[in-house]
């Protein structure tokens, strides 16, 4: 069984959700955001940016730059969770 490392960030008010995803991946990859593949190859950035204002939004999952990204409505805002399925299982 493979372990999945999860990192999550909360979206600040006024921050674009698409940019939060790009920034999170670039930090974890230790890469310039412009060096990553375009986000629009994985999902429409305008769709992501509209989610915080979407009535009834609960969650959305997609793959980007080798990671599984889950965007969820949480009490008080939006949360972005990034899972790297290639991380080895810890403790074994």
Per-residue pLDDT tens over the stretch 35-92: 999 999 999 999 999 998 888 999 999 999 999 999 988 877 788 888 887 765 555 4
Separation between Cα atoms, residue 72 and residue 82, nearest integer Å: 11
What is the pTM (predicted TM-score) of this model?
0.81
Residue 79, CA atoms < 13 Å, CB-side half-sphere: 12
């Amino acid at each position: 069984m493979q372990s999945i490392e999860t990192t999550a960030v909360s979206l600040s008010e006024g921050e674009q959700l698409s940019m939060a995803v790009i920034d999170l991946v670039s930090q974890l990859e230790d890469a310039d955001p412009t060096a990553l593949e375009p986000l629009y190859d994985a999902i429409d950035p305008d769709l992501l940016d509209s989610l915080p204002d979407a009535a009834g939004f609960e969650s959305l999952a997609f793959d980007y730059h080798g990671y599984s990204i889950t965007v969820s409505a949480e009490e008080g805002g939006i949360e972005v969770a990034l899972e790297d399925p290639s991380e080895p299982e810890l403790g074994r």
